[in-house]
Amino acid sequence: MALHNRATPVTDVDAFERETLTSLSMPHEISMRHRLPQFGHLFSSDAYSAGYYSYLWSETMDADTWERFEETGNVFDPTVAADMRNIILAPGNMTDRAEAYRQFRGRDPDVNALLRTRGFPTDAPPATGGTTGNE
């Protein structure tokens, strides 16, 4: 995030990486697996960035769906499982996917679910949805 929270753009990527790793007290024995120039493809065309966004949105819905299971206190809750099967999976693309998700969850997906899954602190508690009609 240090790259994106700057008032001025980075002009020396190597120096920026070294300074950032030093500020994090990164041990020298641990090398970076992915360096900033490797992410150029993400921003080089609309095609890939749109695809990458869809991956993140899928992960958001996955994390938010999982939280619905967790809210029951039983991640194997048969009612939630039946709702997922009947509302999300069985109809496939025969129904509007956004509307199906709203019917399943009682609201739109909560992006904070993805942030929590990835270990980011959020001020927002897990959002609970309304009923789906099967509850």
| pTM given for the model | 0.62
State which of 20-24, 43-47, 65-69, 125-129 shows the largest mean pLDDT: 65-69
User: What is the per-residue pLDDT for 135?
Assistant: 41
Q: Residues for the chain: how many in total?
A: 135
User: What is the per-residue pLDDT for 133?
Assistant: 42
Mean pLDDT, the chain, rounded, equals 85
User: What is the per-residue pLDDT for 5?
Assistant: 80
Confidence of residue 129 (pLDDT cuts 50, 70, 90): low
pLDDT at 101 over 60: yes
- Mean pLDDT of the region 20-27: 88
